[in-house]
Amino acid sequence: MADLSDDATWRTIRAEFPILDQTLRTGKKLVYLDTAATAQKPNRVVDCIRQCYERDNSNVHRGIHELGDRMTTLLEDAREQVRELLGAREVEEIVFTSGTTMSLNLVAHGWGRKFLRAGDVVLLNEMEHHANLVPWYEAAKATGAEIRHIPLTTDGRLDMDQLDTVLDRQVKLVAVTAMSNVLGTINPVAELARRAHDVGALIAVDGAQSVPHGMTDVTRDQIDFLAFSGHKFYGPTGVGVLYGRRELLEAMDPFLFGGHMIREVTRDSATWADLPAKFEAGTGPFIQAAGLGAAIAYIKQIGMEPIMAYEHELARYAGERLAEVPELTILGPAWPDRGAIFSFVVEGVHPHDLSDLLDRQGVAIRAGHHCTMPLHDRLGLAASARASLAFYNNREEVDSLVEAILAARRVFRR
Ligand code: PMP
């Protein structure tokens, strides 16, 4: 366990992310505040991938030679790392996919299209990322199920006081993000799981933003499905995870068909392999999965708790500093019911212009609808600016953000 509040310790950790230590074409030092879009990777992950390609690369589960064995071991060790990270009971409940988007599509196809019926309801809400909306729209269209929404409060939380008005026995699945990628809202997934189960519904959790910040445990929170992406967990792109309860995964249909996912193939039919292979058709992202395993090992070594404590404190500081900027409105709930994601608007400055001006100061933020058009519609905004933090950021970088926003305001007020 590392004490990230100790400056020397923090600097040692920061040095593991060499990409962060660079001067940009403007001559400014990079301040990377776009982790919610994708996280940077520590040396450990890059080294793991390089070593895999230099030493171990071979297709998995098929080789009857040493390289194949080694790569298979790396892949399966990574699966065990994910199981432990999520608090899942069995390693067979961990399916490697290409990312959160594919994981949620897998549930919407494999479970939704098989088990939803006309008149059933999928309960969503307006703060979801498109990846946890559109697959459900399509599953509903294909089955005749309906979409309903949990109302949001004006400050951007799920309105739990109104949950009873929308959560009844017609609801077969609640699909919800554990942490909003725009509002930073941390949703009460354990309570939602309990309330969903009380009416016989399942819960599918989008953990893209919550898992990297240590907030989700599938056994403690009684979650049925959970999706997250390797690239937001300091790991490589191209790999993600679907956790599903064994009985549910066993009852579901595969989503992709082909090699590896079969038990037996005849001239005109096939049967499916056991979990998790049933959902891992074709050559999967085995090197990326090994890289994700290395990322999880790295985070474990620092300790998720110190990371959470450090990020919590940094987010509190960022919230306070941003609140000092005149005419800046932070979207979403007040501290402390939020994570280290700050979407905001500055009166009179378009978010795209703002991010452009910040880029000239070396500060990398994101502007747009962040794949949440229904949320932005509700907020009456076409776009917002978003700064997102991780344990490799510090207060000085938050100060740089605030100074850059103040400078941008001056440009527009001239
Ligand atoms: N859900 C949330 C909350 C996200 O933030 C993202 C990524 N922006 C996704 C889903 C989709 O993740 P990916 O693009 O890695 O599939």
Q: Where are the domains of the chain?
A: 7-32+303-411, 47-300
Average pLDDT over residues 255-263: 96
CATH fold match for the domains 7-32+303-411 and 47-300: no
Ligand 1: centre distance to CA 54 (Å) = 31
CA angle (253 as vertex; 247, 256 as ends), nearest 5: 130
Ligand 1: centre distance to CA 129 (Å) = 7
Q: Is the pLDDT of residue 413 over 80?
A: no
Ligand 1: centre distance to CA 65 (Å) = 37
Would you state the pLDDT for residue 309? 95
Q: Please state which of the four CATH numbers 3.40.50.620, 3.40.1280.10, 6.10.140.120, 3.90.1150.10 is assigned to the domain occupying 7-32+303-411.
A: 3.90.1150.10
Q: Output the ligand 1 site: residues, CB below 6 A.
A: 36, 99-101, 129, 131-132, 177, 181, 206, 208-209, 229, 371
Closest residue CA from atom 8 of ligand 1: 37
Q: Active-site residue numbers?
A: 371
Please give the class, per CATH, of domain 47-300: alpha beta
Q: 289: closest CA among 19, 122, 56, 131?
A: 56
The model's pTM is 0.98
Closest residue CA from atom 4 of ligand 1: 208
Q: Which atom number of ligand 1 is nearest to the Cα of residue 229?
A: 15
Q: Which atom number of ligand 1 is nearest to the Cα of residue 371?
A: 8
Per DSSP, what are the bridge partners of residue 240? Answer: 97, 229
Task: Dump pLDDT digits (tens) for 170-210.
Answer: 999 999 999 999 999 999 999 999 999 999 999 999 999 99
- Share the mean pLDDT of the chain: 97
Range from 1-5, 170-174, 253-257, 343-347 carrying the lowest mean pLDDT: 1-5
